[in-house]
Amino acid sequence: MARAGLPPLPPVVPVFAVPGTILLPGGALPLIVFEARYLALIDDCLGEGRMLALVQPRTEPGGPVSGLYATGCVGRITTFVETGDGRYLITVTGMARFHLRGESEGRSGYRRVMADYSSFSSDLTDGDSAPIDRQPLLAVLRRYLTGHGMGADLAELEKADDTELTVRLAMACPFSPDEKQALLEAPDNAERCRLMTALIQKELLTECVSTSIH
């Protein structure tokens, strides 16, 4: 079930919770770690397989674990640098999404959850290679980036394959936490691409209306 060469996924994972931040399988997420609880989390991870989970915090009640969305993604620390001022600079590479099934005993101020990977078997096998409708996404992205003075950033994205393009944009675009969660939970890259295209179109419409009013 697991991809060749990857370590087995842990049934209990420590949680790094940042609002508006998601991790997707195959994506690389740089993080600056400075809170004491998360420094302790990283210390523990480095000695225990380097795996942790990115799960967004939430304020609405409900769900299997209070204060957290019901779906997250396990990743592995693939780069680690210790700064001279007590911070860690790390990169976490996404491995597989999971549903939270409950909370385990915390350690050193950070939380740990029980993970169920069964609903995301495609993350653990060959990944998502189905084509996406990339041209509408690139078209609205071009308008968005040009309007924010970042048009030059599009050239590199246009060279990316479908999976890289979708994953990088879903993780990097400044959507709301709920929108980010919808992108995380999308069943495949094709649906994720359609959702991002609609979200960017909505943002462009909002900016157009705001400009017209003022």
Residues 203 and 115 in one domain: no
Model pLDDT, residue 1: 37
Does 3 fall in a domain? no
The one-digit pLDDT tens for each residue of the chain (214 residues) are 345 566 789 999 999 999 999 999 999 999 999 999 999 999 999 988 999 999 999 988 888 999 999 999 999 999 999 998 999 999 999 999 999 999 999 999 999 999 999 999 889 876 677 889 999 999 999 998 887 776 667 888 889 999 999 999 999 998 999 999 999 999 999 999 999 999 999 989 877 655 544 4
DSSP track, the chain: -PPTTPPPPPSEEEEE--TT----TT-EEEEEE-SHHHHHHHHHHHTTTTEEEE--B--SS-SSSTTB-SEEEEEEEEEEEE-TTS-EEEEEEEEEEEEEEEEEEEETTEEEEEEE-GGGHHHHTT-------HHHHHHHHHHHHHHTT-GGGHHHHHHS-HHHHHHHHHHHS---HHHHHHHHH-SSHHHHHHHHHHHHHHHHHHHHHHHHH-
Residues 47 and 144 in one domain: no
Whether 4 is in a domain gets the answer: no
Report yes or no on 7 lying in a domain. Answer: no
Residues 22 and 106 in one domain: yes
CATH code for the domain of 106: 2.30.130.40
User: Does one domain contain both 139 and 70?
Assistant: no
pTM of the model: 0.90
> Are both 19 and 65 inside the same structural domain?
yes
The domain total for the chain is 2
The range of the structural domain enclosing residue 155 comes to 134-213
pLDDT in tens, 33-86: 999 999 999 999 998 899 999 999 998 888 899 999 999 999 999 999 999 899
